[in-house]
Amino acid sequence: MTETLVDGLYREGAPILDTTAPTGPIEQRWSERTFSARLVNPANRRKLKVIIIGTGLAGASAGATLGEAGYQVTSFCYQDSPRRAHSIAAQGGINASKNYRNDGDSTYRLFYDTIKGGDFRSRESNVYRLAELSGNIIDQCVAQGVPFAREYGGLLDNRSFGGVQVSRTFYARGQTGQQLLLGAYQALERQISAGTVAMYTRHEMLELVVIDGRARGVIVRDMVTGQIETHLADAVVLATGGYSNVFFLSTNAMGCNATAIWRAHRQGALFANPCYTQIHPTCIPVSGEYQSKLTLMSESLRNDGRIWVPAAKADARDPREIPEDQRDYYLERTYPAFGNLVPRDIASRAAKKVCDEGRGVGPTGLGVYLDFADSIQRLGKETVIARYGNLFDMYQRITGEDPYEVPMRIYPAVHYTMGGLWVDYDLQSNLPGLFVVGEANFSDHGANRLGASALMQGLADGYFVLPNTINDYLAAGPYKAVDDDDPAVAQAVGTVRSRIATFLVAQGTRSVDSFHKELGQIMWEYCGMERTEEGLRHAIGRIRALRASFRADVRVLGEAEELNQSLEKAGRVADFMELAELMCIDALHRRESCGGHFRAESQTSAGEALRDDERFAYVAAWQWTGDANPPTLRKEDLHYDYVELKQRSYT
Amino acid sequence: MATTTAAARVRKARRTSVGLKLAMAITGGLFVLYVLAHMYGNLKVFSGQEAFDGYAHHLRELGEPLLPYSGFLWVMRIGLVVALVVHVWAAVSLWRRANHARSTRYVKFRPVQATWSSRTMRWGGVALLLFVIFHLLQFTTMTIQVGGSFDSPYDRVVAAFSTWYILAIYVLSMLALGMHLRHGIWSAVQTLGWSTRRREPAIKRTALVIALIIVVGFLVPPIAIFLGVLE
Amino acid sequence: MRITLNVWRQQNAQAPGRIVSYPRQDVSPEMSFLELLDVLNEDLIAQGDEPIAFDHDCREGICGQCGVMIDGVAHGPQRITTCQLHMRSFADGDTITVEPWRADPFPVIKDLVVDRRALDRIISSGGYVSVNTGSAPDAHATPLPKENADRAFEAAACIGCGACVAACPNASAMLFTAAKVTHLGELPQGQPERAARVVSMLDSHDAEGFGGCTNIGECAAVCPAGVPLDTISQLNVDLLGALSPRRPG
């Protein structure tokens, strides 16, 4: 480790290696790994406990599968039912290289598209495995009874999705995530009834228990009674999703949080690529101060809608009265080849740019028009209803405006975080016994995730990858028996209790939400769609000040030993603040633009993201070194043996 | 999941709340058929005293000589009583179940779909039960005699319905029956699983029509009597 | 807009509850109903009063976590989830009564928050296809007519919010149960366990203490996911089938 501070913010440590990834031909790596992984005798599985935090696609599928295998699984979720995890809100679909369309799809093509879509910042081995398993996921889900859309012949329907030229997306109307999650949830409930899975709802993980360098359990809070409980096991799996709520306003559910992964990070787990966030261009804009969350509108709208703003600043006329020559169809103007269908990050940045110029529309000036007038004229209203009816209804419910008459207003919103805890090919973090699956890990999407890939990754991890790798770790045991009297447990419980006490005794003047909103504004402004050296430094200073102010001035009413929603939020927001700082440091150190990370200093003359493969073709894995110490950066170099590194171009 | 035997499954299935509903639907269906037949008999009153009394007598001879005198009637009565016991027992069970399912009431509750008919099934059912007892005491056991004692059923009916309060009791009871049937018929059809979204409006309309026919069919003779059309 | 919220406050499951009135002067019609509760809570915190506890999560109508009785109707005056309801659905000067779902199988935890785990237990008793991971045939092995797939989807759209129970005069969870029975019963994968499933799920439904269905139809009328009432008819058919000892499953 270098002793000198880089940029005054972090130190650089030893590089990190993924030692579990096989190195043979890419198409053999997964079978090689499943063969080399040690197995646990079925009779011994009953004696092994696995804790799973989170019941989204990854957590529920892992819980069900490990339960079926015969392990003793203990599963936790903060919602009142495992079925409510935010995977449920995914609309579009799930990719699989089934090639049912005979349109030239293959494992290799899905692999290639995902690597390229991730802007060459993900691992080849992991992504190939993901593509390889994609077909099994569809088979499994159909067998569970997931009602995917079908054609009249009775076979599964497919549609195409952004960034690819084949039709490989399976879907269930606009509720694919819901149906897939219910499939996994039902499989989980089956194991609960079989007694292999113990389910704890309304329980929140507040600390990871590490004993002798291994993850051995968790400290959770029963959110109904406020009791602090200790659960110990042979391995811990985190499936807690992403951290978009660091921005306060995002398309995530209100309760989504980073506490589990952040507490694990503080216990030694590396946090990889925290700055990689995906901002989705088509969301319903903020309507006022009270706004609590943002709603995504499917990207498919851009197929037929035209995006524009008035050519003049602060033009407050009714959009229908603005003549053609006073409108600026800025995407069509700037990117004639792709027009309104440029990738998510480009569309998002362009919208921000025109709004920053003062040409944004709507009451807040933060919105652009998505106009269907031309399509309605060209295709007829019936066709538009058939294609987008449900989305138009949703828009109307939220805004009270009729999008068949008035152009929709849209604005980008934070949607997904590609970063997460660092894991090896086995999905194990650098802390032995701690596994991380789904959006909570960093592994497969690089710097940008393609549409319909999140569901694929969550289920691949939970159904197929983890159940075939965790056995290698468990078979190496048995690990020494631990109990609640272990000093490490006492210490973890102590940390949790004192943190809760800190929030309650502060007795300040500001609510938790007011801090969260302020944090969100800082992050959106300086660590959002466009990041600059100056802005990020400014943000780091403000976040530090905000953290200090939070400690002193937060007001949390009520008691620890009851249902206390302010207290729950206080813990989450405190963790978000620490994570926010790390995101800014990561964004600052990565002086290139790639995928969802756009550094204003690194762009082509045409204003496009400019990667710097010479200096930045690595995974930035950050190590926690203590509250008062700067983090340590450990690099994992990325190698591309099967895909050629290329610069994206959409002009 | 399926670890029980078919026999155990059938036993378990019978005990479910849907099993109770099925019992109500089937017995309710029998009542509807009976009531329609009863109404047909009542309308015989318009054919004159001889025909009406003859019909009443004929009912007692039905099935002879295979059955003894009044045998058919007794079979029917026993059948109806059993059906009634099952119907009431199931209703009470479901009622109690519903009360236990919500022991704290809403401060404010506003139904958006329920009809008056569906909301009054239980108390309406109680009212009908009381009416049936009264009706049996009046015309079967003849414990309650209004307007004198007669051998001819026709005379009994005419004397009874010439009294205003008897007419009033019957009018109210038949309206209660109509309401009970309007929801009951639809409910039975749905419980027996014959309803689909497409058929639902037609089933509900049919239930209403049958209920109306029964109300009108039962009320025409008493009103005609009261107005002096029949005497 | 001026709106008065009459909100049920209850400290915990044991404590008695009562309605507390909160007049608001500054309600924007563009706010969602839950955002009004957020704003109210911020003010309560500023005054040193405990904020109102209410369940919510995705705030886009799909997770099923939110749900309160709004003026006597589950999820309020429109057939959408509470989180999708906006204040423009009310008139200036309205007084709105807000209560938790009321059903004994849904005990109140605090204020507007109730415990709906009974619904999970119904699913746990049989609301699935018994297929282990990895044992699935190819997805195209069994074609399924589109009509069945659509019908299955319609029933599977249930979000498990519990509004059907809250609205039912009998506090029955029949629509919830029927939605799952119908979803899986429409699919070839669901056939082997069809008879056993309906019996186990109904048995669990009754054991949880939900009321019986009397076909009133309040459930489907408030269901934000649009689960149709005839799924209950289909459940009844399945139960009739299960009464036959010859039926497999």
Q: Say whether pLDDT at C19 is over 70.
A: yes
For residue A567, what are its two tokens?
């207290």
Nearest to C212 among B94, B114, B196 (CB): B94
- Does residue B4 surpass a pLDDT of 70? no
Q: Are B12 and C199 in contact (CB under 8 A)?
A: yes
Sign of CA dihedral A321, A322, A323, A328: negative
Give the gap in angstroms from C-alpha A467 to the nearest C-alpha of chain C.
Answer: 10
Q: Please name which of B99, B25, A186, B208 lies closest in space to residue C233, comparing C-alpha atoms.
A: B25
Mean pLDDT of chain A: 94
Please check the confidence at residue A344 and state whether its pLDDT lies above 70.
Answer: yes
Give the residue from A260, A239, A196 showing the smallest Cα distance to A55: A239
- Give the C-alpha separation, A12 to A636, whole Å: 12
Q: Does residue C43 have a pLDDT over 90?
A: yes
Run of H or E residues at A33: helix A29-36
With beta carbons less than 8 A apart as the criterion, state whether B128 and B176 touch.
yes
What residue ranges define each of the domains in chain B, with the CATH number in brackets?
Answer: 14-105+114-226 (1.20.1300.10)
User: Choosing from A214, A263, A344, A634, which is the catalytic residue?
Assistant: A344
Residues A80, C127: C-beta atoms closer than 8 Å = no
- The pLDDT score that the predictor gives to residue A650 is 66
Which one, of A461, A597, A338, lies nearest residue A56 by Cα? A461
Is residue B38 pLDDT above 60, yes or no? yes
pLDDT per position as a tens digit, A118-172: 999 999 999 999 999 999 999 999 999 999 999 999 999 998 876 678 899 999 9
Tell me where in chain A the CATH 3.90.700.10 domain(s) lie.
280-415
Q: A370 near A395, Cβ under 8 Å? A: no
Residue A199 main-chain phi, psi, to 5 deg: -105, 130
Touching B: C residues 152-181, CB under 8 Å? 167, 169-172
d(CA B231, CA B155): 8
Residues of A in contact with C187 (CB under 8 A): 145, 147
Listed by start position, the domains of chain C span 3-110, 117-242
The DSSP bridge partners found for residue A421 are A271, A441
CATH hierarchy code of domain A280-415:
3.90.700.10
pLDDT tens sequence across C200-238: 999 999 999 999 999 999 999 999 999 999 999 999 999
Residue percentage of chain B with pLDDT more than 90: 83
Q: In what order do the strands lie in the sheet with A203-211?
A: A203-211, A214-222, A228-232
Fold of C3-110: Ubiquitin-like (UB roll) (3.10.20)
For residues A22-39, one letter each, b for 16 or more C-beta atoms within 10 angstroms of the residue's C-beta and e for the rest, the string is beeebeebbeebeeebee
Say yes or no to pLDDT of A1 above 60.
no
CB nearest to C124's CB, from A140, A150, A193? A193
pLDDT tens digit sequence for A233-282: 999 999 999 999 999 999 999 999 999 999 999 999 999 999 999 999 99
Q: How far apart are CA B142 and CA A459, in angstroms?
A: 76
Residue ranges of C 13-72 with Cβ closer than 8 A to chain B = 19, 69, 71-72
Q: Taking a C-beta distance cutoff of 8 angstroms, is the pair A490, A482 a contact?
A: no
Cα(A386)–Cα(B11) distance, integer angstroms: 48
Q: Is A506 on the interface with C (CB under 8 A)?
A: no
Which amino acid is residue B177, in one-letter code?
L
DSSP-assigned letter for residue A462? I
* Mean pLDDT, chain C, whole residue set: 96
Q: What is the largest CA-CA distance in chain B?
A: 69
Task: Check residue B2 and give its pLDDT.
Answer: 47
Report d(CA A79, CA A89) in Å as an integer: 14
∠ CA C232-A156-C180 to the nearest 5 degrees?
20
Give CA–CA dist B119/B102, Å, rounded.
16
> Is-contact B176 B131, C-beta < 8 A?
yes
Helices within chain C (DSSP H only):
33-47, 117-124, 146-156, 163-167, 174-185, 194-207, 218-222, 230-242
pLDDT grade, residue A651 (50/70/90)? Answer: low
Which pLDDT value is given to residue A389?
85
pLDDT at A109: 96
> Do residues A467 and A202 lie in contact, with contact meaning Cβ atoms separated by under 8 Å?
no
Question: For A477-500, how does the pLDDT look when each residue is reduced to its tens digit (9 = 90+)?
Answer: 899 999 999 999 999 999 999 999
Span A5-15, mean pLDDT? 95
Asked whether residue C85 carries a pLDDT value surpassing 50, the answer given is yes
Q: Which two tokens stand for residue A506?
A: 């502060």
DSSP count for chain A of H helices, then E strands? 18, 21
Q: Note the pLDDT of residue A147.
A: 96
Query: In angstroms, how far apart are the furthest CA atoms of chain A?
Result: 75
* Residue A280 structure tokens: 């989705």
Task: Assess whether pLDDT exceeds 70 at residue A355.
Answer: yes
Which CATH number is C117-242's, of 3.40.50.300, 1.10.3720.10, 3.10.20.600, 1.10.1060.10? 1.10.1060.10
pLDDT beyond 60 at A426: yes
CA C85/CA C81 separation, integer angstroms = 7
As a whole number, mean pLDDT of residues B215-228 equals: 95
Asked whether the ipTM of the predicted complex exceeds the cut of 0.85, the reply is yes
Torsion angle of C-alpha atoms C7, C12, C16, C20, degrees rounded to 10: -20
pLDDT of residue A647: 79
* Look-up of token digits 């990754």: A457
Q: Is the minimum CB–CB distance between A396 and chain C shorter than 8 Å?
A: no
Catalytic status, residue A333: no
DSSP secondary-structure letter at A5? P
B113 or C111, greater pLDDT? C111
Q: Which residues contact C226 (CB under 8 A, 6 or more apart)?
A: C79, C154, C157
What CATH number is given for A494-616 in this structure? 1.20.58.100
Task: Give residue A603's pLDDT band: very low, low, confident or very high (50, 70, 90).
Answer: very high
